[in-house]
Amino acid sequence: MKSSTITAISHALPATSLTQAELEARFGAKELGAIVRMSGIRNRRVVAPGQTAADLAFAAAERLLDSRGIDRSGIDLLLFVSQTPDYRAPATACVLHGRLGLSERCACMDINQACCAFLHGLAVAHSMLVAGTARRALVLTADAVTTLIHPRDRSLVPLHGDGATAALLDAADTAAGGIGPIELCTDGSKFDKLIVPAGGARRPSSPETRVETADAGGCVHTPEHLFMDGPAVFHFCVYKVTAFLKEFLARNGLTVADFDTILLHQANKTMLDLVYQAIGARPEQRFYYLEEIGNCSCAALPVALAQAWREGVVKPGSRTLLCGFGGGLSWGAAVIRWPQDANAAVPGIVDVGVVSRAIGG
């Protein structure tokens, strides 16, 4: 029987840092201290002016393809998974296709998703590889979520950073390992708990949508910036996701003990600790990669996976449980049984200074 597996993965981070000292000057040391204790985040990598999520994805993909000597003509599926595309049209995947010099016989599409984005990209690529409609897939997961956040929004700025990954997927024999099972879930009735209310077709930009307001906590935002209902999202992540993970494992005849590593969306350390504790994950099964880079939104989970490979936490022959959750509201999980000959790690890029290729001024 056919499956698919990740045969290489690389991640890219912007060179620019937004340090704790800078945010203390902006928001105050006392306020930032409380956020650090809750989030575990002390530094963030953020895109520079003129730099986009696609630039980060391009850098990650170039590093992966060049370091492995991948034949670009053999890639026949390119997915760009992000909520910060370069243009409203065309799909950013098409733009990246041209920049990467891929074959014309390559399907390209964008998937607009938030913190569960990587699992959606995996599910689509895996399904097409198993069905035989693609032979080799390149899944680029990237976000420049800091461009959606008001610079004086104290509730969001200290938590978020930007990043990207490139993952190469190939068909595999299920006997050797691979991806699956995968489950994806959505509660669209709560779409407004994480949202940029204005700037799209439903509520176009206008002078009114650019008016700044401050909430009771002193956080400044406009309808054209990201809004998060913090208590609702926290409750969702801790309770809904925990219950889902337990049900997911039971439905598939698995237990927490079956996994060498359990990787969760890198939202904040308090939230991760609560989920890990609730499902009974042992300390050696847990992995964190957010202290120096922040919550990279849709790229957070695959960036953590790439880093876990670099550190030797994820190894050939091991089994990994991935879980993503966030805007939509959406959540999901996937199991990866790494083949014994797996060698997915590619050295990460931490100094990306690519300037976007703007068209039309």
Position 172 scores a pLDDT of 82
What are the E-state strand segments in the chain? 2-14, 17-19, 43-45, 77-81, 107-111, 136-143, 163-173, 178-186, 194-195, 213-214, 220-221, 227-228, 261-264, 319-326, 330-337, 349-352
Does domain 1-353 fall under CATH 3.40.47.10? My reply is: yes
Say how far apart CA 183 and CA 248 lie, in whole Å: 8
Tokens 């976007």, located at residue = 356
Specify the higher pLDDT residue, 217 or 166. 166
pLDDT at 254: 97
Mean pLDDT of 52-56: 95
Q: What is the pTM of this model?
A: 0.92
Q: Reply yes or no on whether the pLDDT at 337 is more than 60.
A: yes
- Cα–Cα distance, 112 to 253 (Å, whole number): 31
**Lowest mean pLDDT across 63-67, 216-220, 253-257:** 216-220
Q: What is the pLDDT of residue 343?
A: 74
* pLDDT exceeds 80 at position 349: no
Mean pLDDT of 25-47: 87
Tens digits of residue pLDDT in 197-206? 999 999 999 9
State residue 52's pLDDT score: 95
pLDDT at 218: 79
341 pLDDT tier (thresholds 50, 70, 90): confident
Average pLDDT (326-330) is 92
CA of residue 190 relative to chain centroid, distance:
20
Query: At 359, phi and psi to the nearest 5?
Result: -120, 135
Buried b (16+ CB within 10 A) or exposed e, 193-208: bbbbbbbeeeeeeeee
Q: Where are the domains of the chain?
A: 1-353
Confidence of residue 253 (pLDDT cuts 50, 70, 90): very high
User: Does the pLDDT value for residue 354 go beyond 60?
Assistant: no
Q: Which residues are catalytic?
A: 115, 265, 295
Q: How confident is the model at residue 347 (pLDDT cuts 50, 70, 90)?
A: low
Which tokens sit at 102? 């891929």
Q: pLDDT tier at 358 (50, 70, 90 boundaries)?
A: very low
| pLDDT at residue number 355 | 39
Side-chain half-sphere exposure of 344, counting CA atoms within 13 A: 34
Model pLDDT for residues 106-163, shown as the tens digit of each residue: 999 999 999 999 999 999 999 999 999 999 999 999 999 999 999 999 889 999 999 9
Top-confidence residue, 340 or 208: 208
Model pLDDT, residue 282: 96
Q: What percent of the chain shows pLDDT beyond 90?
A: 74
pLDDT tens for each residue of 76-110: 999 999 999 999 999 999 999 999 999 999 999 99
pLDDT-derived band at 345, boundaries 50, 70, 90: low
What does the alpha-carbon distance between residue 197 and residue 256 come to, in Å, rounded to a whole number? 38
Q: What is the model's pLDDT at position 332?
A: 97
Q: What is the pLDDT of residue 35?
A: 85
What confidence tier does 350 reach under pLDDT thresholds 50, 70, 90? very low
What's the pLDDT at 150? 94
pLDDT at 222 over 70: yes
Q: What is the pLDDT of residue 238?
A: 87
